Structure 1
């Protein structure tokens, strides 16, 4: 890909009206995507972040595991003047994707942005099976291959379902939901989102916060089907490996499990010394691979939440790469719950 003059924002196809990129201004400010820089958009979606980064003058390597998102983004790629490359793949391998695109030109990038979780487009399309608000096949696969949510619900044993719903969904009545699923599937396997949602509604009482009783169960199944938390840890490690010194990592997370992983990763990678006491000497720690770029966590403005309710739970964290060598990543060290999927029962 050759780097040419920045494409004017009006020369690029407009973003999907259904998807508003969350905290767009804050993301661009944290990335600082100037002309001549290369930025990885690890979750292309409807292309909101990529368009803004292109408009700022940078080159973009955009990745998405959803073939529908990649196909829809080809028009943006064609209109970018060679400054956008779309890759169908997982962001856990973003370093490998970037090196393949940049082969012979450079080995590092200047920024990585990750918008973690399911996209608005996926939630709004009932046929993708991510949401209970519109009836559709019980699918939930972002990449549309491998085990589906229906496979998991119909085949996993009660212990596995309990752990998935309890750990990934943080559902207090996980055991009761799992038991109800196992009993019902003996008579008729689950195939539709509305069917599963109705069963969960009978087991989980309505809460006073307005959250649908099936929300946590559906979140848990989606995370398990797509290995979302493991993918996130691997993506953070890949970003550490591919970022040049001074490059920025920006992550927007939408629920506590994701944000906790990002927070722990950055706390570990920015730590310069271990805490000691008067009884024990300070332990040596590896050189920090990141320094804090934005203090604490950034939340969306009240104006943005009013205009886009899906932004209400978003949290942004950002860090700047140092020159220290990248380290191995261990999902257990960053709080990823371990679930081994068993079948039967």
Structure 2
């Protein structure tokens, strides 16, 4: 409520009316879910098929006594105790299978705060390319706005990305190496090396993700279409990416065409040309602005203006060359040598 009193947000209570689906309740997703729960979100839909392990304890949120429970079940139990006013819907399955993918799409379309209406936002907090592409495919088909997030394998960098189908680049518009080079993602895993995990990096990424969600839903501040984080240099690059007209996802191309039609149908704002206000043309003190250069001097210092097309002017003109009025002085040759002249000068 202090945000509202300070003029940051017009209506913070509106947060209770939104439903958000979080796919992946791991190092980033679990912290994201907790932050949104504490912010008072209306409803959370949690999707994951993994279980809590003791190896996860170097991350935030989960506790040792929850080992063996499904992540969505453990998360729901913890989050309900934090804020019982939030509605929770948990799904313990892999969204990339054909059967589960259809059910996932159904819940996005109908699992809003009011049953039968779509969710307001989908958040991708998964750690693999296959799941990200599944979310991208579903959201492109449904025209669903979503945000993607990720942490690098070495745990010292991450990013978030807002994706609005048709308006911004989807996840398939700028394909990563696994798509561009047609590589199986599983073959990129190095033998004997697992991905690093730092609660600090995951906490930072979750924080900027939820901050972007709040700004997007409550309409305040600047919403980032892409925001990166590099812990080594404390670098936060930001950019926006336009959709690729040749995107491999046909639904993305379809959404692009619909967005173009929507923009074309919007009324074009009228450009009103304001007249420049003349300052001090007349005043009670009788002060006048007088140029120090006379019109005659200005004319003499300017050259002829060339004939140019309409709308083009010259920055300056070159004045015409005037003949030098100083008379030439001629010196007659005396025929004397330099030595004779020097001798005359000494005798003077």
Fold shared, TM-score > 0.5 on shorter chain: no
Q: Under a length normalisation based on structure 2, what TM-score does the superposition of the two structures give?
A: 0.33
Q: Under a length normalisation based on structure 1, what TM-score does the superposition of the two structures give?
A: 0.34
